[in-house]
Amino acid sequence: MRVLITGGAGFIGCNLAAHHLNQGNHVILVDNLSRPRTQHNLNWLRQKVEAGCDGRLSFYQDDIRDFKRLCEILAETQPDLVVHLAGQVTVTHSLLDPRADFEINVLGTFNVLEAIRLQPQPPAMIYASTNKVYGGLEDVTVVLDGARYRYRDYPDGIGEDRPVDPKSPYGCSKCAGDLYTRDYARIYGLRTVVFRQSTIYGPRQFGLEDQGWLAWLMIATVTGRPITIYGDGQQVRDMLHVDDLIAAYDAAWARIDSVAGEVFNIGGGPANTLSIWSETGPLLEAWAGRKIPVTYADWRPGDQRVFISNNRKAERLLGWTPKVGIQQGARQLWDWIVANRDLFA
């Protein structure tokens, strides 16, 4: 199998690449290396191959905004599957530079789709969308239950029948790519699948304050950096370990002819939730063995008090459910950060 991963040196991309290399597949990475520490992830993958990993690795330092180059890469490598992960990934940056956000997330995704469509034998494509396409969910009743919020009327979480209603340039740009990807299946017959992903976490995540929040809180704790909590810290997210996400990608690929054109909400679900600070804070204090000082700031635009994914469609059509519990997965991430603290200096 030949799999091309855009954004392949990022957190999800390098974990996905390692998975396919271990399976003996040929992995093609396309990444402009603009994100911090992506070169480190690329070096890690190259070391795996040099150490005798069964798979093959090809790397192209290119940008998805370069349509001509994308066409050349696809024609040269002829992948069976494209996993489109490359993108501008934060709400805050989209507010500061909405044009760049549009060009990367909308035009870039359009370029990937068109490059696929123009191939003599178009590969399948999985698109990494986001739960931010649903916006702030202001009309969904949320109640405070102890030190965390919960949905009053959605015990199983938010399903794919929820209308999209993005509330930031980032949400709009990812939603546009989401809709284009689905429509290219309906109009052109491409084998595309959309995953509206919840909070993904796991090893090799170089989290930042505005993206990858669990990893960022752990990194800040380990390195002694200041922590700011936006809102009241009782916001709740369903947490999906990167290994479970990769298993969902595999399940979609295995069923690509039957699920082409589908949209899936993919998250940890009700069993794997965590409040951003009221629960995470005590957990990290226990592992660090000390009190962690934090400051609080106003809510950020479009911040959901709760997001929990209803995974029943993925369970029904993909035969997929999360396997890694949040306590197990969070401890694994913590141990990786502690063991690699020099990477965060």
Higher pLDDT, 106 or 53: 106
Q: Token digits for 203?
A: 């090893």
Nearest in space to 137 (alpha carbons), one of 217, 236, 212, 274: 236
The answer on pLDDT for 182 being more than 90 is yes
State the pLDDT at residue 51: 87
Whether the Cβ atoms of residue 175 and residue 184 lie closer than 8 Å to each other = no
Host domain of residue 201: 87-344
Report whether pLDDT(97) > 90: yes
Q: What is the pLDDT of residues 308-334, one digit of tens each?
A: 999 999 999 999 999 999 999 999 999
CATH number at residue 204: 3.40.50.720
**Stated length of the chain:** 345
pLDDT band at 198 (very low <50, low <70, confident <90, very high): very high
Q: Determine contact, residues 157/238, Cβ cutoff 8 Å.
A: yes
The arithmetic mean of pLDDT across residues 53-61, rounded, is: 92
| Arithmetic mean of pLDDT, 237-249 | 98
pLDDT at 298: 95
Q: Rounded distance, CA 337 to CA 332, Å?
A: 9
Distances (CA, A) of 111 to 8, 186, 242, 296: 17, 18, 26, 40
pLDDT grade for 189, boundaries at 50, 70 and 90: very high
pLDDT of residue 329: 98
In the chain, pLDDT over 70 holds for what percent of residues?
100
* CA–CA distance, 345 with 340 (Å, rounded to integer): 10
- Report the interhelical angle of 11-22 vs 242-254 (nearest 10°): 60
Residue type, 39: Q
How many domains does the structure of the chain reveal?
Answer: 1
Residues involved in catalysis: 170
DSSP alpha helices (H): ranges in the chain?
11-22, 38-50, 67-77, 91-96, 98-102, 108-117, 169-188, 213-223, 242-254, 256-259, 280-288, 312-318, 326-339
Using CA atoms, how far apart are residues 231 and 300, in angstroms rounded to an integer? 7
pLDDT band at 35 (very low <50, low <70, confident <90, very high): confident
pLDDT of residue 345: 82
Instruction: Give pLDDT, residue 300.
Output: 85
Q: Read off the pLDDT of residues 262-296 as tens digits, 9 standing for 90 and up.
A: 999 999 999 999 999 999 999 999 999 999 999 99
Domain for residue 307, yes or no?
A: yes
pLDDT bin (cut points 50, 70, 90) of residue 210 is confident
Alpha-carbon gap, residue 251 to 231, rounded angstroms: 36
301 has pLDDT over 80: no
247 belongs to a structural domain: yes
Handedness of CA 334, 335, 340, 341 (dihedral sign): positive
Instruction: Kindly state whether residue 32 falls inside one of the protein's structural domains.
Output: no
Determine, yes or no, domain membership for 44: no
Secondary structure letter of residue 134 according to DSSP: G
pLDDT score recorded for residue 120: 98
Residue 303: its pLDDT value, please?
82
232 compared with 55, residue with greater pLDDT: 232
Torsion, CA 5, CA 9, CA 15, CA 18, rounded to 10: 80
Nearest-angstrom CA–CA distance, 136 and 285: 30
Dihedral through CA 7, CA 12, CA 13, CA 18, nearest 10?
A: 170
Q: Specify if 77 maps to a domain.
A: no
> What's the confidence (pLDDT) of residue 266?
98
pLDDT of 302 above 80 = no
No. of H helices and E strands in the chain?
Answer: 13, 15
Q: Read off the pLDDT of residues 126-175 as tens digits, 9 standing for 90 and up.
A: 999 999 999 999 999 999 999 999 999 999 999 999 999 999 999 999 99
- Work out the mean pLDDT of the chain and round it to a whole number: 96
